[in-house]
Chain A
């Protein structure tokens, strides 16, 4: 009796034509499907379009997360027939007894894998919109580039947040300023003239800059001065334009989100 479930449940088969939607992301589906014939594409919704995640073929199983969540969570992805398909339909309830009786360590590992999958699905949701945002940033940068006033490569967003910064080789120094604009390429900082007396601020000088973005995300970057000039409006203040010399993936992501229109 290696396989009691196959006998006690009727075999239910369904057919889909090429292009048909088999599972819809966001639906509360309970069926698990095994592909008997044909090819199925797995997609994730991204903005207005779809992001292809994987392809499944004969012998593969799709919709398996339904077992773990038993229809209490929406489908994380959509599935569409890429060819005419024949699928076998399984219902989670047929596996419940077996799931309960599974050796504890195997169950534990399966549980961990399922949780990692839920988490990775969230990660992909988070990083996908960034793709679109980058497109927007690129588009804006091109339109900015066409303008005569600026040579900026990146879309810049205005803001007004406090920051601390220090030269690369002075771990204990602490200078203060206000970030006035920021892009994926760099930032503009308003600083008091006295900072210049505490530390040289010439072009090319690299500083560590620490701040918290208005969206609550910390940003710790290194950036070099590309331009520094007296503030024309306010006496005793300087404005410096800085270019990032190092941006971690995390910072780049946080900044990306903040810059999203």
Chain B
């Protein structure tokens, strides 16, 4: 199943960001999750040694989902910045309401497993940032 097909019925709107434009900012509040339709974006974290690129997202990548399913959901604080890279990027802004409905229809155990996976990813990424920071 292609990304377009997967997203059918979930796209609230489409947005295009110019190269190097900040899509989500670490520490800011947000309720949207996004999927990349065209182009690329960098995931960056602030460390004592400056901004560090943690990942490069390409077509089909979903980001911003941590505020929907993470342990701290509801607070909606972005754990990383996502910045358009190597040219403009076209995004689908996902219908958070519908995604949360899907999530809440799962059994509490399954919800806990998803939430924990998101939490583990955050914990490991946080640790990587601390290590990067201390390794110079």
Q: List chain A positions with a Cβ less than 8 A from chain B.
A: 2-6, 32, 34, 42, 51, 53-54, 59-62, 64-65, 67-68, 90, 94-95, 98-99, 102-106, 108-110, 112-114, 116-117, 119-121, 123-124, 127-128, 130-131, 134, 249, 252, 256
Contact partners of B28 in chain A: CB under 8 A: none
B120 contact from A34, A54, A94, Cβ within 8 A? A54
**CB under 8 Å from chain A, chain B span 86-109:** 94, 99, 102-103, 105-109
Contact partners of A34 in chain B: CB under 8 A: 109, 112
* Contact assessment for A67 and B102 in the assembled complex, using a CB-CB cutoff below 8 Å: no
**CB under 8 Å from chain A, chain B span 38-67:** 49, 52, 55, 61-62, 65
Contact partners of B105 in chain A: CB under 8 A: 2
CA distance A156 to B1 in the complex (A): 53
CA distance A109 to B95 in the complex (A): 14
Contact partners of A53 in chain B: CB under 8 A: 123-124, 127
* Contact assessment for A113 and B65 in the assembled complex, using a CB-CB cutoff below 8 Å: yes
Known: A95-B109, A249-B132. A113 touches B121 (CB 8 A): yes
CB distance from A42 to the nearest CB of B (A): 7
The 10 residue pairs across chains A and B that have the minimum distance between CB atoms:
A54-B123, A61-B116, A64-B116, A103-B102, A120-B124, A3-B107, A117-B121, A61-B112, A64-B113, A106-B102
Contact partners of B107 in chain A: CB under 8 A: 2-6, 98
